[in-house]
Amino acid sequence: MSEAIFPTCVPELTDGHVRLRAHRAGDLEAIVEQSNDPDSLRWTMVPRPYGPDDARAFLALIEAAWNDPEGVRFWAVTDAADETGAYLGTIDLRPQASRDVADTGFGLHPAGRGRGLMAGALRLVSRWWFENGGTRVTWAAIRGNFASWRVAWACGFTLHATLPGTHPDADGGPALDTWRASVTADDVMEHRTPWADPPVLETHDAGGLRLRAWRDDDVEALEPLDQPAHHMPARGVLDADTFPEWLLTRREKMAVGTTLSWCIADAATDRALGEALVFVTEGTLDDDAAELGYQVLPSARRRGVATAAARLVVEHAFTPRSDGGLGLRRLVAQTADDNVASNRVLDAVGFEIWGRESAADVLPDGRAVDALHWELLPD
């Protein structure tokens, strides 16, 4: 008896929420729509413009791949509750040189987004791969594609590295950086780290503050630097010239649960005034201790902004997780001995010095400055 050929060879996979099936000719129109969507154009190398002939070629490629015993495996993503099985996206597994490893790629039509379908699809194809002798599924995306990373993150993938200049730019610009991650047959396919989305925190007095997520257009509020270099690591300082990379890095760290960064904004105008953050250098914010940091733009200083923001963050840090906080047991901070303003902030919110690091920084004039180590425990 001959082996089954496409489409009967395609195993249908479902978890009750998402259903994966073979592609069919009726998917063509939705494939064209998905491929011309701005997000698809931004993060993929689909032909531009993408027309019906491109979709027909894609469907022919899928059929040929399934008819090849060692070919790429493609599935159409659908909502299990939709009896028509309307096309909502595509997911694939691409066997690598080591035949027990497959790389995955996926994309959703706009109508399928925000419903948790792709995370379900990724779990289904990964488990299918493992049940058929595979040991690892790898994932890659252009750096900054947080929607794709959120799917892989939700499925227990471990982010291994950012590889510079490893993805062509569809518009012909310099090569783009990529993220690389993987999951193995032994992993639990649920997220392994927190995703630190900053909640809005507010003071309610006149001239109050709002701590919120950063936006790309906050760059418009930034001002020239005017603080000594040893008061804060250069890579962490708010600066208009480096803000896009600074913000991307902050978002990367929040997406692996090591940092929670807020924009300190004027509650009345929403204009950015500075940053407040808690972070860890090892582990994640699911642990019980973290470090507090803050910086205020020059025009917002000497108004109590840093102190008010620090109080909000401290309260959130010590609020139990069951009540929406971080549930931390201990906060620490580090400052330069001569950073009088920052030291006053920590003292005002209740931190105490527990250690002094002699001659931690050497200034341009040759003077050495100590570093102070601070801690705070809940009341």
Distances (CA, A) of 316 to 38, 207, 375: 37, 21, 16
Write out the residue limits of the CATH 3.40.630.30 domain(s) in the chain.
13-184, 201-376
> Mean pLDDT across the chain, nearest whole number?
96
Distances (CA, A) of 317 to 300, 327, 346: 24, 6, 15
What pLDDT digit, counting tens, does each position of 112-144 carry? 999 999 999 999 999 999 999 999 999 999 999
* Angle between helix 340-348 and 305-318 (nearest 10): 40
Contact of 228 with 293, CB cutoff 8 Å: no
Distance (Å, rounded) from C-alpha 344 to C-alpha 372? 12
What pLDDT digit, counting tens, does each position of 54-110 carry? 999 999 999 999 999 999 999 999 999 999 999 999 999 999 999 899 999 999 999
Stretch 215-221: mean pLDDT: 98
Contact of 169 with 228, CB cutoff 8 Å: no
User: What share of the chain in percent tops pLDDT 90?
Assistant: 92
Stretch 179-198: mean pLDDT: 97
Six token digits for residue 247:
């913000």
39 pLDDT tier (thresholds 50, 70, 90): very high
What pLDDT digit, counting tens, does each position of 280-302 carry? 999 999 999 999 999 999 999 99
1 pLDDT tier (thresholds 50, 70, 90): very low
- What are the strands of the beta sheet with 89-95, ordered from one edge? 13-14, 18-21, 73-79, 89-95, 101-108, 136-142, 176-184, 158-167
Q: Tell me what percent of the chain is helix, strand and coil, each rounded to the nearest 5.
A: 30, 30, 40
Q: Which residue is listed with tokens 């780290």?
A: 193
Position 206 pLDDT exceeds 60: no
Position 225 pLDDT exceeds 90: no
Six token digits for residue 261:
């960064």
CATH architecture group of domain 201-376? 3-Layer(aba) Sandwich (3.40)
User: What share of the chain in percent tops pLDDT 70?
Assistant: 99
Q: Which residue is listed with tokens 């063509």?
A: 28
What pLDDT digit, counting tens, does each position of 256-279 carry? 999 999 999 999 999 999 999 999
Q: What is the pTM of this model?
A: 0.94
Distance (Å, rounded) from C-alpha 288 to C-alpha 330? 7
Position 2 pLDDT exceeds 70: no
**pLDDT, greater one: 225 or 155:** 155
* DSSP helix/strand/coil, 366: coil
In this structure, how many other beta carbons lie within 10 angstroms of the beta carbon of residue 267?
A: 16
Contact of 124 with 18, CB cutoff 8 Å: yes
Position 213 pLDDT exceeds 80: yes
Q: Domain spanning 13-184: which superfamily?
A: Gcn5-related N-acetyltransferase (GNAT) (3.40.630.30)
Stretch 219-240: mean pLDDT: 90
